[in-house]
Amino acid sequence: METALPTAIILATGLALALVAQWRDWRPPLWAALLVGVAVRIVLMITAAGDTHQPVDFVNSFRPAGEAVLNGQDPVLASKGGWHFLPTIPYVYGILLWFGVPWEYTGRIVTVVADIALIPLVAKLAGGPRASLRAFQYALNPLALMVACLHGQVEPVALVFGVAAFVAARGPGAPVQRADVPAVLRGALAEHGWSGLPRWALRTLGQALRPQPGERAGLKRGACAGLLMGLALCAKSWPIWLIPGMLLLLPQLRSRIVALFCTGAVPLFFLVTLPVFAGTSLSQIPEVIDTIRSIRPIVGEWGWTPHFTGGDWALRSDLASFGTYLIYACVLAAIVIWWRADPIDMTIAILLIFMVVTPRLGAQYLLWFMPFLVARPTRFAWPAIVGVSLWAGYGYLYMTQYQDMAWWLMHRDWSRVSIVLLPVLLAAMPWGRRRPPGQEPDGPSAPPGPAAVTTQV
pLDDT of amino acid 452: 34
pTM of the model: 0.90
Taking only the tens place, the pLDDT of each residue in 35-89 is 999 999 999 999 999 988 899 999 999 999 999 999 989 898 888 878 888 889 9
Instruction: Tell whether 418 and 322 lie within a shared domain.
Output: yes
Instruction: Tell whether 230 and 362 lie within a shared domain.
Output: no
pLDDT at 200 over 80: no
Note whether 18 and 140 are within 8 A (CB): yes
Instruction: Tell whether 258 and 347 lie within a shared domain.
Output: no
Q: Kindly report the average pLDDT of the chain as a whole number.
A: 88
Could you tell me the pLDDT band of residue 204, with boundaries at 50, 70 and 90? low
User: Of 208, 241, 272, which one is at a domain's C-terminal end?
Assistant: 272
The span from the CA of 256 to the CA of 252, in Å, is 6
Side-chain-side CA neighbours of 317 within 13 Å: the count stands at 3
Instruction: Tell whether 300 and 435 lie within a shared domain.
Output: yes
The span from the CA of 333 to the CA of 295, in Å, is 25
Side-chain-side CA neighbours of 35 within 13 Å: the count stands at 5
Instruction: Tell whether 455 and 337 lie within a shared domain.
Output: yes
Instruction: Tell whether 173 and 312 lie within a shared domain.
Output: no
Per DSSP, the three-state class of 76 is helix
Say if residue 350 is exposed, middle or buried (CB neighbours under 10 Å; 0-12, 13-18, 19+): buried
Q: Is residue 102 part of a domain?
A: no
Q: Is residue 50 part of a domain?
A: no
Q: Is residue 305 part of a domain?
A: yes
Q: Is residue 54 part of a domain?
A: no
pLDDT of amino acid 368: 96
Note whether 356 and 303 are within 8 A (CB): yes
The span from the CA of 290 to the CA of 274, in Å, is 15
Note whether 441 and 432 are within 8 A (CB): yes
314: phi then psi, degrees, rounded to nearest 5: -155, 145
Instruction: Tell whether 249 and 309 lie within a shared domain.
Output: no
Taking only the tens place, the pLDDT of each residue in 417-446 is 999 999 999 999 999 998 765 555 444 444
> What is the extent of the structural domain holding 238?
158-272
Q: Is residue 28 part of a domain?
A: no
Instruction: Tell whether 229 and 340 lie within a shared domain.
Output: no
Q: Is residue 215 part of a domain?
A: yes
Instruction: Tell whether 445 and 353 lie within a shared domain.
Output: yes
Instruction: Tell whether 252 and 365 lie within a shared domain.
Output: no
Instruction: Tell whether 307 and 449 lie within a shared domain.
Output: yes
For the chain, the domain total comes to 2
Note whether 228 and 161 are within 8 A (CB): yes
Q: Is residue 208 part of a domain?
A: yes
Instruction: Tell whether 166 and 248 lie within a shared domain.
Output: yes
Q: Which residues contact 163 (CB under 8 A, 6 or more apart)?
A: 118, 121, 122, 125, 371, 372
User: Of 272, 304, 327, which one is at a domain's C-terminal end?
Assistant: 272
Q: Which residues contact 46 (CB under 8 A, 6 or more apart)?
A: none
Q: Is residue 101 part of a domain?
A: no
